[in-house]
Amino acid sequence: MDMPMMSQDVMQEHEVKRYFNILRESVIRSHLTMTVVFLTFANDVQNHAVPEEMSMFLKSKLRKTDLLFQLVDGKHWGIFFLQSSVVEARAFLERIFNILEEEHSNLLVNATITEIRNNDVSFDTLITQNKQLLTKIGQKKWAVEEIIDYQQPPTEHVKVSVIEQNQIFRQVLEVAISQLVIPHFSLEVSTYEDGYSFFQSNNYKSAHIHLIITNDILPRKNGFEILHLLRAMPNGNKFIIYMMSERNSESVAINAYDGGADEFITKPFNLRLLEAKIKRTFERLWL
């Protein structure tokens, strides 16, 4: 293994290692899935120009947000696909395999995919594991295997605040939402009778993602004011705000959306629908 096999234009293993930790943490914080693909040759390559050719080829096929690097041995390549899941990685591989078969018939390639949604994995483990897997499937051609160990997001604690005046209905919402099972999220539900008591509680100050389900009319500090105050906060985006209203009037709904509400729900509504909306809202947090 001598130096000429290394491409000058492609990042090297030791350079990428530093980035990986940052990328991995931002996966958790921003709920953006990252997928890593490793590639290697399935056949024995003698020609020194081939790895260089491979580097150039891969580079030409990537988006600006994808990060290509070469491992120390010069025979493995890795790619970080940011904001992408295994589906996109597979699509990418399928595409380049087709092109390789047609245009570079001298290259036979195998690949592995690792989808990352938690921070349980270190860079070294990642590389070791993938290398091992690639070796294992060394006999095949055009094979794609997956490592699924890091695909489960960590369970995230989120807050839900129900702000509704009618005590009976407030209870209904509290029970219904507490019983919701949303994978990878644990909900902490609290209820308030109006905006004033909500702001008194200071519950809104934590950094957790916070779903607010509020009525528009409330005795002290109404829904619109809650909406405005929360959206004006520096980290206002952590709030997901649903507004409920018994006023069946377009202008109220438009005002709510203009003010930054994520959902406007006219009463009476179907609880199951609300539950489905909440579920979908949280699922959508992970790409």
Partner 1 sequence: MIELSIPFLLSAILVMLTVLAVFIVYILFQRSREVRFNKARAVYLQTYSQAWYAFLFQDAEFSIAMIPRGKAQVAAVEEIFSSYLKNVINAEVTNKIQNSANQYLKKFYAKDLTSRFWGVRMNALYRIADFRINELLDEALQFEQKKISKEEYFQLLKIYSILQPEIFLKKIKEARTRYSESEYRRLFILLSDDVFNQMFDDFYNNEQNIQLAIIDTTAVKRNMQFIENLKRLLNDESDEIKIRALKGLYEIGIVDEIDTYIPFVTSNVWEIRLMVAKIFKYAPLTYTYPYLEQLLQDENWWVRSQAAKTIAEEREGVAKLQQFIAHADDQYAIEMVQETIVRKQGNR
Partner 2 sequence: MKILDYLMMFFSELIILYMLFVIMSYCIMFIVALLDIQRRYRLDPSEYDDAHIDAFYSKPVSLLVPAYNEEIGVVDTVYSLLNLRYPQTEIIIINDGSTDRTLQTVIEHFKMKPVQQIIRVNIPTKQVKQIYQSEIYQNCILVDKDNGGKADALNVGINISQYPYFCSIDGDSILDEKSLLRVMKPIILSDGEVVAAGGNVRIANGAKMQLGSVYETNLPKNYLVVMQIIEYLRAFLMGRIALSKFNLVLIISGAFSVFSKKWAVEAGGYSTNIIGEDMELVVNIHRLLKEKKEKKRIEFVPDPVCWTEAPQTVGVLRRQRRRWHQGLMESLWKHKKMTFNPRYGLIGFISFPYFWLIECLGPVIELAGYLYIIIAFFLGGIYYEMAVVLLLLFVIYGVIFSVASVLFEAWSMNTYPSMRDLFRMTILSFTEIFWYRPLTLVWRCEGLVRFLFGKSDWGNMKRVGIAKKENSV
Q: Dig out the tokens for 1 from the structure.
A: 């293994």
State the Cα–Cα distance between residues 216 and 97, nearest whole angstrom: 55
User: Which position among 49, 148, 175, 233 is part of the footprint of partner 1 (CB under 8 A)?
Assistant: 175
220 binds partner 2 per the rule CB under 8 A: yes
Residue 258 touches which member of partner 1, partner 2, none, C-beta under 5-8 Å by kind: partner 2
Which residue from 111, 37, 112 is spatially nearest to 67, judged by alpha carbons?
Answer: 37
* 270 belongs to the binding site for partner 1 (CB under 8 A): yes
Q: CA triplet 233, 237, 239: central angle to 5 degrees?
A: 90
CA distance 205 to 235: 10
Residues 187-216 vs partner 2: string with x where CB under 8 A?
Answer: ---------x--------------------
Q: Does 157 bind partner 2 (CB under 8 A)?
A: no
Stretch that binds partner 1, among 12-20, 110-118, 193-201, 263-271 (CB under 8 A): 263-271
- Complete edge-to-edge strand list for the sheet that includes strand 34-41: 11-12, 66-70, 76-81, 34-41, 109-116, 144-147
Q: Which is nearer to partner 2, 4 or 219 (CB)?
A: 219
- Cα separation of 64 and 140, whole Å? 31
Helix H or strand E encompassing 198:
helix 195-201
**Tokens in use for 70?**
């070469």
What's the closest the beta carbon of residue 132 comes to partner 2, in angstroms?
A: 59
Q: How far is the CB of 268 from partner 1 (least distance, A)?
A: 5
Contact between 251 and partner 1 (CB under 8 A)?
A: no
CB 67 within 8 A of CB 34: no
- Determine the straight-line distance between the first and last CA of the chain, rounded to whole angstroms: 39
Is residue 181 a contact point for partner 1 (CB under 8 A)? Answer: no
Supply the minimum distance, in Å, between the C-beta of residue 250 and partner 2: 8
CA distance 117 to 34: 7
Give the number of residues in contact with partner 2, rule: CB under 8 A: 22
229 is a site residue for partner 1 (CB under 8 A): no
* Interface with partner 2 in residues 224-243 (CB under 8 A): 224-225, 227-228
- Binding residues vs partner 1 (CB under 8 A): 166, 168-169, 171-172, 175-176, 246, 267-272
